[in-house]
Amino acid sequence: MRMNRKFLYWGVFLVALGGVLVAADVNGVDDATIGDALRLWPLAIVALGLGLVLRRTRFSVAGGLLAAAVPGLVLGGMFAVVPHFTFDCSGGGEASSFATRNGTFDGPARVDVTTGCGSLVVTTAPGPGWHLETSNTADRGPAIATTSTSLSVDAGGHGGWRGFDAVLDVWRLSLPTSAIDDLSLVVNAGEGRIDLPGAQVGNLRLTTNAGKTTVDMSAASVASLSGTVNAGELSMELPAASDLSASMAINAGTLRVCAPSGLGLLVHHTGVLNGVAYRGLQQTGNDWQSPDYASAAHHADLTVSVNLGSVDINPIGGCK
């Protein structure tokens, strides 16, 4: 029987690509090891060249297999590492002393926070008052705008990301447990730790760009959730005592979702080069539903568009 070499080479390429992704997913190979190996990416060009040189020799099959396998390994390594990429802005030096701002909301409020390169910590406190502490390695604070029902904090041109000349922001924000109609948190090239016990949020919007954000909503009330991850990670602990509707977009990133006991979870996902895992095991199909969904007192329905990324449901190790 004559073998179609094109199918053979494509098969080897896909096996190599998928093998790296599986190995990284089960922690058989860590991201640091893959990142170091990717520095040898020119070998993919060498392999392709050898495949062409050996094409009309008795070593043509071996050369073709090499030309298929090495690019597959390189591409698989890129797919494995990119979703976990975060920008290191620690080179900007030490942050200066903190400046503080305080205020009180008179009614349901709107809060918008957009960081630069650095860290954002958000907590809550009883009552209608908010408290903000900001620090910056270049001694420049964010743009802050407030009214009796709104708060806006934006790194903008006052700090944060400036191409390769990044400065470090460190922000600490305490929000009230009084009603917040709309809460928007954007983490750019840094890390966000969001803890919302007692919060009453109508619409929560989360954006992570080249960063890592961890959100604990387990003791909060959130009516609707939307989020975007671009080359980063977003980990979420869902509310335990309320229903939630969410729409997420994951591009070259990872979404980790932890559902507490008693919360029925339904995940519908679309996209390309993506995967959904439950407790570390890959799932098939576009829909995943927790076993207790029908009988649960509260439900969370997530629609997720995932391109070059993954969704981990109740991952081993949790979402913190």
Annotate 71-84 with DSSP letters as a single string.
HHHHHHHHHHHGGG
Asked whether the predicted pLDDT for residue 158 surpasses 50, the reply is no
Q: What is the spatial distance between Cα 268 and Cα 254, in angstroms, rounded to a whole number?
A: 15
State the average pLDDT for the chain.
81
Runs of H (alpha helix) within the chain: 5-25, 31-38, 42-53, 60-81
Do 135 and 173 touch, CB atoms closer than 8 A? Answer: no
Identify which of 35-39, 50-54, 129-133, 168-172 has the greatest average pLDDT.
Answer: 129-133
Region label for 240, one of left (φ > 0), alpha (ψ between -120 and 50) or beta (otherwise): alpha
φ, ψ of residue 113 in degrees (nearest 5): -130, 125
Domain parsing of the chain, residue ranges: 5-84, 90-313
Asked whether the predicted pLDDT for residue 84 surpasses 60, the reply is no
Mean pLDDT of 53-80: 68
Annotate 152-206 with DSSP letters as a single string.
EEE-GGGSS-BTBS---EEEEEEEESSEEEEEEEEEESEEEEEE-TT-EEEEEEE
* Predicted pLDDT at 165: 47
Mean pLDDT of 277-291: 83
Type of residue at 107: G
Q: What is the spatial distance between Cα 205 and Cα 75, in angstroms, rounded to a whole number?
A: 32
pLDDT band per the 50, 70, 90 thresholds, residue 61: confident
Query: Of 80-84, 222-226, 294-298, 302-306, where does mean pLDDT reach its minimum?
Result: 80-84
Do 232 and 190 touch, CB atoms closer than 8 A? Answer: no
* Predicted pLDDT at 190: 86
Cα three-residue angle 87-89-93, rounded to 5 degrees: 170
Asked whether the predicted pLDDT for residue 39 surpasses 90, the reply is no
φ, ψ of residue 227 in degrees (nearest 5): -160, 155
Look at residues 171, 177, 157 and name the one whose alpha carbon lies nearest to residue 101: 171
pLDDT band per the 50, 70, 90 thresholds, residue 100: very high
- Percentage of the residues of the chain whose pLDDT score is greater than 90: 46
Q: How far is CA 88 from the centre of its chain?
A: 15
